[in-house]
Each structure stands twice: as C-alpha cells, then as structure tokens.
Structure 1
C-alpha cells in the first residue's frame, strides 16, 4: 500500500476539472493518519467489475491483489468486498459463464477469493435469477439464494445487502424478508462501528440516477447508527456528506455514502447539476476503494489504476 499512496487530488471536487490535470503531490510533512491508520485492518473493493476482453478489471484486480500481498507481509488483517455487477454482461452460466471467463482472470486470484465478501447487482441476476452468482461464490455470498448476510471484522459489524430484491429479480415478499432480517441483525449487534454495502445507491450524481426503492434499508441503517454505506451501479466514484435518508446533511448521526462503481465496467460521466451533499467526484478513472478500520474511526481513499490516490480522508464513528 505504501508504494501506491503517491498522490492526492482536490480536482475531483469539481465536475468541470480537466481529465488532463494531475493530482497534487502529498505535502512532505503530511501526517500518515491523513491517508491511513497505520497497521489497521483493511477493506478493499469496488463494484461493476469484470468484462471479458477489456483491461479495466484486470488493472483493478492487480491493485487489489498487490495491496493484499503487502498487507499480508505486514500481517495486517484484510478483506475484499464487491458492490454488485461482478460479471458482465449477464452473469451467465454454462459454456459462456461470465464468472469463470471474466471474473476469474482478474479478481479471481486465490488471494482475493479466500477473503472475498460479494454483493449482487442487477447484471448478476440476468441469468438463472442469480444462480451462477451464488454457485460461483458459494458460501462467500451468504446463505444460498438470499443475497444478504452480515459478519464481524476487526471489531466492526459489516452488512451486505441485496438491492435487487426491490426490482424484477425480487418480490415484495423477499424485500420484506430482507428488511425483517436487517432489523433483527441490527438489534442483535452493538459494535461501535458498522458499515453496510449493496449495489444501488440512494444518492448519486451518476447517469443511473438515485434509487428511491432502497430508502427503507437506509432508514433502518440510519436509525441504528450505521456509519458508512458503500454502493456501485453508477460507473464513477462519488462521496457524500453524512446525511439522513431524506438527504439532509447531518454531521452528528448522518451516514457517509461512497459510490465506487469503478471496478472495470465502462466508465460513465456524471450528471449536472451534482446531487445535493456530493462533496467529491471522479469520473473516467478505474480504481478501487480502500478503507482502513480503527477502533471508533476509519479512513478512506480511492486508488486509481495508475497508482495515484484520490480523496483520502476519514471520520469518527458515531
């Protein structure tokens, strides 16, 4: 990781930045805690990943694998998450199965697969109602056929949800079952810090637009004091101020949301004007989101495929 943390940029704060502008180097005296928590456990991943015959997912996969290798040498605990749309175009099965053909060569290394915790996206459900996704990831995807699960990592509680249950691949009954499960899971776990991730974002400046259907999930997460929500679906990087499920900035109880749909699928522009409370945006760059998790705090950074680091920052848990 230390070799990758070369530069940062404030350019992404403005939609109109030229893509030819280069990130500003980190000042020589910058404290390491501005970028990462030394020796802290790591979560790394992205969404919208594997496309056969393209280089984006291969580049992001190499970053993930190299970060894991470095953390392993340093004996730092790590895990990999995915934010849905793991294999394009349709998560198909059979001879043309998109997972072994497209995902395995890039993000399917032994080092990654040993500690991966995926979430499903709409493209993962386009074949066999998600059967190839669940078959490929097995127990790593949680209880078979459900698409949602939780686990504890480094003193944090981590929740992986299935936003597709609100759309054609799910049903009202399945969506309510997930909500009932989430309510019980939140009540049963009292970790100081909690992060949740799923495919479709409630807030976004991306071309797909916001997903109002996931607001019930957001409201439960907010009411339970969850700190951070991660999403994909829009093929860009975007971070929002801590806010309520209604989009009101809330520095005391608000959830910080980060979209990182930059794992390898075709990159897309942002809409103008930007969504309310959007504070950092990057488009036109593949990369991954790295989180370092401390007791009561976290740091975030976007690592682009050229090794540059964007949007380093952090926050205390509620």
Structure 2
C-alpha cells in the first residue's frame, strides 16, 4: 500500500509525512513538511470522525513539529494535520497513534527493525511488503532503523526517496520511528554538534521524557515502552572510548533501568568486523550492556543477516564456547528450546543475542565464519520483535513475509521445580495428507504444584493454549510441508518448560537452497586450476572446457526420502553463447559433500553418481532471465542416489558437478548473491504406489492403469 500525501489548502502542499516521533505515556510528536511556510495545527480525538481537540503553533515554517501533551496512557488517538486555515490530511483510520503503555506493564508489543534500508528501490519496497504481508492488520508499536537509512549521502533528497516517499508512509502515519546513525548519515550530518540532515528530520527523546536517563543529544538516547527499555547509540561519529560521555551515560542509564527487557541498537557490527567502530563497541559498550542484562543487540552495516547464540563475555577476538556460551542451542521452541534467562541469583540477566540485520535494501555475501553465529542468511529481509510478558519472539522475515529464522527468549524467576511436558500425539515422524484436521495432545505435570496452562506452537507460531486437563489443541495442516510441533507447560510458580519437539510431514515437500558462499561454487579449467572467486559461471567453455561445481547446504532432506522432482535454477549473467551446448550433470557421490578448495583438480576428481542428466539449454536471450530456459531438466535420479547412500544424513550437503561442451553464462554467488544458482527438491516420505500391476515396467515408465486418475500412471 503506497500512501503519498499531497493535499493542498490555500496553495500549501504536504511534501513529507506526517510521521510520528518520541511517544510517551502522555504525549506524541507529529511531524510533517509543507512546500510553503504557515503556522501548524493538529486535530486529534477518539475516532476519525471525532477530532474534538486541537493545538496550534503560531508563526510560519515548512518543518512542522507538534508535540501533543496531556494524553491518556495506552490510548489510541486519531489525528489530522494542517494549519489555521484548515486540514491538509483527511481524517482516516490509518492516521492514528497510541500512547505508550504504563511503565513496566506487560502488554503485547510489535517492533519492526530495518537495517541499511536506504536504497530507495524495489529491494527496499519488497522487504517492506514482506513485513506488511506478515503483520497484516496487527499494529506496529515502533519502527527501529539501524542506520544507513538513506544512500548515498544521507542527504535530505536521499531521505525523501528512501524513507518518506513511496516507501514507508503507510506505517509512519501510525508507528513512531526511532533510529541510530550510520556512516552514510554522516556525509550530511555531524554528531558532536547535532547538526545536518539526520538531526534536522528526527525528534528523539533526549531529556528522559520517555523513560531512561537524559542524554542531551540525539546521537544517543533511550526510552521505555511498557516493560521494554530501548537504547540507541552512535557507533560512527561519537567518541566510543572507555570513559567517554556516551559510555558513561550508557552505564548511568542502565543502572537506573527497572524494565524487564533491554534492547540496544547501533550501526556497526561488533562481531565479524575489521573496523575500529565495531571493535570499539565490542570492547567498551558490550561489557556495560551485558553487565546490566541486555537481552538483544541489533546492528547493521554489513548487508546480510546473522544471528548469534545466547552468549556472554565475548569482548576480544577469540570466542571460547566453554566460558562465553550461555546456550548453544537454536533458541526455538520447536527446536532445542527457547533461550532461558534467569532474573534472580548469580546468573541473573546473563546472556544476550546479537543480530546483524543489514539486508533491508541490498545484500552482499559473507561466509558465516564467526563462531558465535548460529544462523547466516544472504537474503533481503527485516526483523520482527514480539514481546509479551516474560517472552520475546524474534523473527527474520523475507520479501514474501516468510519466517526464515526465529528464536525465543524467556525470562524466568525460578521458584521450585519446573513442570514436565511432552506431546503424546501425533507421533514423531507421522505422515498426513494435506489439508488435514488433527488434534495435538500433550501430557503435563508439575512436581511441586499445578499446571496453569499449556501452549501449543507449530513452526514457532502459537496455535492456541489449553488450561484444562487433558491438554489439547485442534489444528488443521494447511498444505504440504514439514511441521515442527512444540508444547510449553507453565506452572503456578511461573516456571515454564518446552517439550521435545516432534516433526510431522504432509504431502509432497519442497525444499530449496541457494549457493551461499564463495567456496560453494567453483570453476576448474582444463589444467585443473580451480577458481572460487569468479563473478559468473561459464557452463562450460571459457577458453577451454571447464568443470563447474555447485554445493548446496540446508536442504534437510531425510535419508531415504523418495525424490519426485529436482532441478537447478540459474540466472543469466550474459547472453553470449557457444553452440552446440550439451551439459552433463552429475552428483558428487559422497555422504556429505565438502566445500570446494583451490587444490588442483578439486572439482573434476570428486567421485560422481552413476546417474547423469544431459541438458541442452536453449539460447539465453536476456541478462537477468531466470525462467524455464535457465532451469535444468529433472535431476531427481541424481538426488535419489545421494540420499540413499548409507552415510547420508538429513544435515548433509549435496554437490553437483557439470561438464560438457558449449557455453551459457550464469550468475555466481560472488557476482550476485541473490541470483546465485538455486536447487529445489520435491520429495515424499511414503514410497510411490505403482498401480500398473499387469504391465512389465519400472517405476517412471509410462503406463495407464485404466482408472480415470493419472496419479501413478
């Protein structure tokens, strides 16, 4: 949904906004820009048709900054903006704001986080649309920008296209916006003097009016929202040394904080960083943050997504998992279990998750080589944070609104023993058609008390709760796929315990994976020399017939699954060609394919599957095409041979080897990470039914069993 306000009144036009800033429990700042200077007026009230209150600021200006005071806590108001002559926006259900909840209250809160979103292009809009698809009609209580909000120079014109026009208007009119500065902001701003574009267009709470200790500068500040304390810091243009004003303020602010959750944002990543900016924050800010129990640290600067384990005390170069890891699990309720943090005792507040999310506008490939990182994704996306009471759920959303990573942090005040819970049905590994209505049942007990309720989740999403024994939740399997089911029991002492997750399967399952590292696509020339850094992939003639290797991870295909279809999708990098082009596609005959190296012959000497598929691709007409012409034939026979190997496991990597004659030129992971080769595999867990009993044929041969259905013919 694009909303561009260009209302006119007496010759005046709104050219930016309105947008919301610096919400508190009793006030809200509304900003907008007009082409002509006039006075400023805001109307507000309990409904779009009942804007019974108004405030006016005399004088003339084009930058309108209006603070509405005297509001009720946790209350929704509707508003319109204009001047003493009349309204420039039409009252609507979208033009609204909600004051902050009472300090310490535990209300459901939704936060949207965008890192390095400032490309002002369709990449950013696709990330926006993915979040909109995910959140639907649910409110967004605040938006956090992690810097580099407007490329290239952070100028006013850059900000207009990257943030305010044809970009985030539909949320800016009803969700307060906060930020930290990035390095691109500083081309047009100066933090020591709080001058320039960045400081002109934002109004942040610097006087402690929204909670937290007053900082006196918009370069760094803090505020409260219910039981959440948010800290924004400047990792680019403010002194980051130990004992600096920012570090002293940070400690004073955290010392005064009483809110349950602490979220910190700044631009430069403290891990996987060679810059002094990131190192300074790691050495000087992180010890302060962690000593006061920070829960989540969000950064950008590098244009991909990486998420750490729950860690504590990693301030140097080397990570020691025996002393610095609090929980090396995946943090998923339907996986290894949530990350639990105690709020009492010697380990109170210990452990934080660090998220690098800098792909809201573009992506660049980096290997996941920092040992603190649990997940790494080279894809466009943004982060959604959902907080309710003692639980925080964090999700990375792609451009379709799919959840590509997720984890949960739970705060506990241990009193007595934890409950015991397990899912009793369906059984782990069960297979169903889809759609199919089922009931998830759980057994739960508490050794020293009673069970308050049991919550049920599917793939990390809550599907319901039950507070009555026997504990159950009806649910309909919506479509083919893999589903992870988890139950969490909560007892009368506030303790919780997640069950061991079970996995069920429905129908045909499709899984896809892109080449995601330089060492996962390789070109070997006729002499045996291997390159891992080519910006494209010549299939296969490049001043000689070469051998190309592709390695795919994260497919999670169970051992002995029945492969029904598989293909590799390439993207055309060039339209030049050599014909005839006949490509031979093999699999690497290995239990778990290793990454490619530059050792001589590392691609061509790998063992190959007996199955081979020949491909004669048509001429690729346009750069950027990724359609049927760039898609291989069905290579299911190759994948089937690999997944039935004795040593293959669900976590195994799969490699494909291509040789032949002729030339087509495809994108590589180095040339364009988002356009790298992608394999898609469709599989079933039930064996195929061969219902042509009277024919002497093999499965896969054409036949007609005489019934009107073509299934298994």
TM-score tier (shorter): 0.7 to 0.9
Which residue does 2:365 correspond to in 1?
Answer: 269
Match of 1:100 in 2: 160
Contact 1:119-1:141 within 8 A present in 2 as well:
no
Question: Where do residues 177-216 of structure 1 align in structure 2 (5 Å cutoff)?
Answer: 177-204=245-272, 211-215=278-282, 216=284
Per the alignment, in what secondary structure is the counterpart of residue 138 of structure 2?
helix
CA distance in 2, matches of 1:313, 1:255: 12
Superposition deviation, residue 254 in structure 1: 1.8
Displacement, 1:118?
Answer: 1.0
Q: 2:154 corresponds to which residue?
A: 91
Question: What secondary structure sits across from 1:217 in the alignment?
Answer: helix
The structure with the greater share of residues assigned to helix is 1
Higher relative contact order (CA 8 A, sep 6+): 1
1:219 and 2:287 correspond:
yes
195 and 128 in structure 1: CA distance in 2 versus 1, 3 angstrom threshold: closer
Is 1:289 aligned to residue 383 of structure 2? Answer: yes
- Which structure 1 segments of 5+ residues have no match? 1-38
CA, structure 1 residues 174+304, in 2 after alignment: closer, same or farther (shift >3 Å)? same
Whichever of the two has the greater Rg, that structure is: 2
Q: Deviations over 1:262-313 (max 9, x none)?
A: 111x3100136x1012101110x21110011122220111110122211122
1:312 matches 2:406:
yes
Residues 229 and 262 in structure 2, CA contact (< 8 A), matched pair in contact too: yes
SS at match of 2:202: helix
Query: Structure 1 residues 174, 245: CA separation in 2 closer, same or farther (over 3 Å shift)?
Result: closer
Pick one of 175, 189, 193 that aligns with 1:128: 189
Q: Does 1:119 align with 2:213?
A: no
Aligned residues: 264
Please give the per-residue CA displacement for 1:96-124, whole angstroms capped at 9, x wherever unaligned.
x2111332125441522641111111111
Contact 1:89 1:98 in 2 (8 A): yes
2:110/2:385 contact within 8 Å kept: yes
Q: Paired residue for 2:352?
A: 255
Aligned equivalents of 1:209 and 1:240: distance in 2? Answer: 21
User: TM-score with structure 1 length normalisation?
Assistant: 0.75
Could you tell me how far apart the structure 2 residues matched to 1:271 and 1:86 are?
A: 24
- Checking the alignment, whether the CA contact within 8 Å between 1:300 and 1:313 is kept in structure 2 is yes
CA–CA separation in structure 2 for the residues paired with 1:233 and 1:71: 29
Q: Distance in 1 between matches of 2:380 and 2:275?
A: 18
Shift of the 217–124 alpha-carbon distance from structure 1 to 2, 3 Å rule, reads: same
C-alpha separation between the residues in 2 aligned to 1:298 and 1:84?
23
User: Which of 51, 56, 81 is equivalent to 2:119?
Assistant: 51
Q: How does 1:171-182 map to 2 (within 5 A)?
A: 171=239, 176-182=244-250
Cα drift, residue 140 of structure 1 = 6.6
- Of the candidates 205, 230, 239, which is equivalent to residue 158 of structure 1? 230
Query: Aligned match of 2:396 in 302, 311, 317?
Result: 302
Distance 1:189 1:239, change over 3 A: same
Partner of 1:16: none
Name 2:537's counterpart in structure 1: none
Deviates more, 1:296-305 or 1:61-70: 61-70
Q: Note the C-alpha offset of 1:43.
A: 0.8
How far, CA to CA, are the matches of 1:68 and 1:267 in structure 2?
23
2:217, 2:130 → 1: CA distance? 30
Q: Conserved in 2, the CA contact under 8 Å of 1:62 and 1:106?
A: no
- Distance in 2 (CA, whole Å) between partners of 1:212 and 1:287 is 26
Distance 2:275 2:126 in 1: 24
C-alpha change, 1:146 and 1:306, in structure 2 (3 Å) is: same
Which whole-Å CA distance do the structure 2 matches of 1:254 and 1:173 have between them?
A: 23
Given the superposition, is the C-alpha separation of residues 209 and 65 from structure 1 closer, same or farther in structure 2, using an over 3 Å criterion? farther
Closer/same/farther in 2, CA of residues 106 and 48 from structure 1, 3 Å limit: farther
> Could you tell me whether the CA contact under 8 Å between 2:133 and 2:401 is conserved in 1?
no
Please state if 1:61 is matched with 2:128. Answer: yes
Q: Which structure 2 segments of 5+ residues have no match?
A: 1-106, 208-214, 328-346, 413-713
- Against the structure 1 CA distance between its residues 106 and 262, is the aligned structure 2 distance closer, same or farther, given a 3 Å change threshold? farther
Of the three residues 200, 203, 224, the one matched with 1:138 is 203
**SS of residue in 1 equivalent to 2:395:** strand
| Separation of aligned partners in 1, 2:150 and 2:351 | 32
Q: Which residue of 2 aligns with 1:3?
A: none
1:49: how far off?
A: 0.7
Let me know the Cα RMSD of the aligned residues: 2.7
